[in-house]
Amino acid sequence: MLAQNWMLIAFVAPMSWALVVMIDRWLATDQFKEEDEVVAVIGFFGILPLMSMFVWGLPKVNILYGSLAVGSGILFMIYTFFYFRSLFKSDDTVLISILMNMPGLVVPLLAAWLVHERLSGVEYFGIVVVVTGSVIACFEGKVVHDKLKCIAWPMAIAIITFSLSMVVDEQVYNKISFYDGFMFFSVGIFLSGCFCYTKKSIREKRLFRVKTSSYLWLVVAECFNLIAIVFSHYAIKVSPAVSYVAVIETTVPAFVLIVCGLIYWFCRTFNISIDSKHADVLQSQFVGLGNKSLAIAIMAFGIYLLG
């Protein structure tokens, strides 16, 4: 039943990542100073899926595809590292958001080249339509083109590694079970987090610690991030093609707008006050509301072509 509704499963990931984006915008500047810290924290949360082995047992070992799954987890964390490096190098979140829609185009190209995935002309057109809509949705203001130079290479690495990770995941789940594949993927995430934590601790000669005041929101953000990763992988497992999942995940900007609208409505309805910092983050999402509404309609049309 779930496999037949793969598109609904695929939409859980961008919905969850929209919440992560909002929380990260509140936390990033206060909590983290560099990308090693982010990767370390996400990596340590990667141990949570591994604890399911106490309930469902050890995954079946397939050396080839288990190694590919671990490698996919490492690729995902390399993407995370360079994505956050770009964020720390540039405060132009508009430009970075636009660039992070590129996997919607890169994944179909890699899938066609590496694993000979073939889609119809209408489906390729739908992919272009969805990515176009997601790019439009990212325009909150003027893009500072001069800042592209300092983030061009880290964003290029982030886009390629994220896209390659998705293509590898599809091949893994075609050969072994979702549980086995995701367990090995989680090992890759955890090892990457340990590596960055160790590297930072040795470099600074002290242990990195999270501010206690941010514990709750950090845990909430990483739990939603983990939910998004799980559903993204399960969608790859049950969908007709990995390209579909990659394209659907470019709808994060639309869900950010929807989440902000729901939060604003909830606060107004129940007279809940929020501080100026959080209010500014919410209000910034409504800049260019007309363009974003048009973008959502364009994305919906593109998804209709895919479905």
In 3-state terms, the chain is what percent helix, strand and coil (to 5)?
80, 0, 20
Sign of CA dihedral 112, 117, 119, 124: negative
Query: 165-194: per-residue pLDDT in tens?
Result: 999 999 999 999 999 999 999 999 999 999
pLDDT at 215 over 60: yes
CA atoms of 208 and 280, how far apart (whole Å): 30
CA atoms of 40 and 5, how far apart (whole Å): 34
CA atoms of 162 and 267, how far apart (whole Å): 36
167 contacts 111 by C-beta, under 8 angstroms = yes
Q: What is the mean pLDDT of the chain?
A: 84
- The DSSP line for 14-80 is HHHHHHHHHHHHHHHHHH-SSHHHHHHHHHHHTHHHHTTHHHH-PPPP-HHHHHHHHHHHHHHHHHH
- CA-to-CA separations, 78 to 83, 187, 197, in angstroms, rounded: 8, 14, 14
Instruction: Out of 90-99, 242-251, 263-272, 286-295, give the one with best mean pLDDT.
Output: 242-251
SS3 144: coil
Q: According to the model, what pLDDT value does residue 81 have?
A: 93
- CA-to-CA separations, 294 to 135, 153, 243, 260, in angstroms, rounded: 11, 31, 23, 17
Q: According to the model, what pLDDT value does residue 290 have?
A: 76
pLDDT at 72 over 90: yes
CA atoms of 147 and 3, how far apart (whole Å): 43
What type of residue sits at position 181?
G
Q: According to the model, what pLDDT value does residue 194 have?
A: 93
Q: According to the model, what pLDDT value does residue 113 have?
A: 92
- CA-to-CA separations, 305 to 13, 72, 119, 299, 302, in angstroms, rounded: 20, 29, 12, 10, 5
Question: Which residues, 6 or more positions from 84, have their beta carbon under 8 angstroms from its beta carbon?
Answer: 32, 35, 38, 39
Upper half-sphere CA count for residue 41 (Cβ side, 13 Å): 26
Helices (H) and strands (E) in the chain, counts: 15, 0
Q: According to the model, what pLDDT value does residue 236 have?
A: 95
